[in-house]
Amino acid sequence: MTEKTKTDPSRRPIWTGNLTIGLVNLPLKLFPMIYDKGISFRFLHKSDGQPLKYQKICTKDQKVIPWEEVAKGYEVSKNMYILFDVKELAAIKPESDKRIRISKFVDYLSVDPIYYNKSYILMPNKSNETYSLLLAALQNKGKAAVGKITLRTKEYPVLIHAYKGSLVLTTMRYSYDVVNPQEYKELRNLDKPKKQELDIANKIIEDLSGEFDIEEFEDQYRKKIEEIIKKKIKGQKITVETQPKEEVKELMVALRETLKQLQKK
């Protein structure tokens, strides 16, 4: 079991190619950086513990359909589909361009994090000199390079910036993937706060101001599951305490205190 989860770096790049700025060419490798550390479970058959698998079943005659007979359908209206052959779609897949084209440089902090999608670590590919040059320049200026990349079947806007002595590439969302909050009428008709109230609010915020520290946060659900897994591996019997309701929590506090006292006796 992993203890406090530091993520091990992958040794396999998910993409190799070149970054181009005008005439400058920088060969790079792309490594995954973000892992969603959920705990994954496999579905098993309860009675014999055997793994279960998925099959595609035709909704009309309940027959299992082999992959060769699978097509993709685009729903035009309810139950009306335009049929695409899987090969047909593969043919028009965006060209897996081996190039990240940089179009401009912006202030890194001016980009709204709302648009951030996923981050990757860029590694030099026998190009240490140029890599460290770009890294140092971005660092000094607090700038990020804006460009485009095609990963698998999708083209993304990207931002490249300096992070802990490396170049990090972040794929971005398109503006049409993000809802503008002002679409909500309720938000367009908010009350103007009174100055006095605003002063108080400002004061509270100042008093409670601090540094953001991600280490303060921990996924309690994941932690509990890891504890149970540890116990199960050791063959201990698990009694699961269902998440107590608010009122039961107080009773649990009293219970712990009493159990402690009774133990002393």
Partner 1 sequence: MVEQLTKVKFTNLNKIIFPLEKITKKQVIEYYIKIAPKILNILLNRAIVLNRFPNGINKKGFYEKNAPKGTPSWVKRVEIYSKTTKRHTNYILCNDLDTLIWLANLTAIELHIPLSTITTREKPDFIFFDIDPEPPASIKEATAVSLLIKDKLDKKGLKSYIKTSGKKGLHIIVPIKPSPSFEQTKKFVHEIGLQLTKENQLVVSELSDTKKPGKIFVDYLQNSLGRTISSPYSLRAKPKALVSTPLEWSEIKKGIKPAEFNIYSIIKRDKEPWKNILENKQEF
Complex with partner 1: residue 199 or 250, whichever CB lies closer = 250
Measure the CA–CA gap between 156 and 172, rounded to whole angstroms: 6
Q: Which residues contact 185 (CB under 8 A, 6 or more apart)?
A: none
Complex with partner 1: residue 204 or 252, whichever CB lies closer = 252
CB of 233 to partner 1, least distance (A): 14
CB of 41 to partner 1, least distance (A): 17
Among residues 106, 187, 201, 252, the one that binds partner 1 under rule CB under 8 A: 252
- Choices 31-39, 67-75, 204-212, 237-245 (CB under 8 A): range interacting with partner 1: 237-245
Contact flag: residue 136 with partner 1 (CB under 8 A) = no
Q: Which residues contact 93 (CB under 8 A, 6 or more apart)?
A: 153
Contact flag: residue 241 with partner 1 (CB under 8 A) = yes
Measure the CA–CA gap between 186 and 188, rounded to whole angstroms: 6
- Choices 124-132, 176-184, 186-194, 244-252 (CB under 8 A): range interacting with partner 1: 244-252
CB of 118 to partner 1, least distance (A): 32
Among residues 163, 108, 120, 107, the alpha carbon closest in space to that of 19 is found at 120
What string of DSSP letters covers the chain? --SS-PPPPPSS-SEEEEEEETTEEEEEEEEE-----PPP---B-TTT-PBP----B-TTT-PBPPGGG--EEEEEETTEEEEE-HHHHHHTSPP---EEEEEEEEEGGGS-GGGEEEEEEEEESS-HHHHHHHHHHHHHHTEEEEEEEEETTEEEEEEEEEETTEEEEEEE--GGGS--GGGSHHHHTPPPPPHHHHHHHHHHHHHT-----GGG---HHHHHHHHHHHHHHTT----PPP---HHHHHHHHHHHHHHHHHHH-
CB of 227 to partner 1, least distance (A): 6
Contact flag: residue 188 with partner 1 (CB under 8 A) = no
Number of residues that bind partner 1 (CB under 8 A): 23
Complex with partner 1: residue 201 or 238, whichever CB lies closer = 238
CB of 241 to partner 1, least distance (A): 6
Window 194 to 233, contacts with partner 1 (CB under 8 A): 224, 227-228, 231
Complex with partner 1: residue 180 or 261, whichever CB lies closer = 261
CB of 35 to partner 1, least distance (A): 25
Contact flag: residue 39 with partner 1 (CB under 8 A) = no
CB of 246 to partner 1, least distance (A): 10
Among residues 39, 106, 201, 248, the one that binds partner 1 under rule CB under 8 A: 248
CB of 1 to partner 1, least distance (A): 15
Residues that bind partner 1 (CB under 8 A): 224, 227-228, 231, 238-241, 245, 247-248, 250-252, 254-259, 261-262, 265
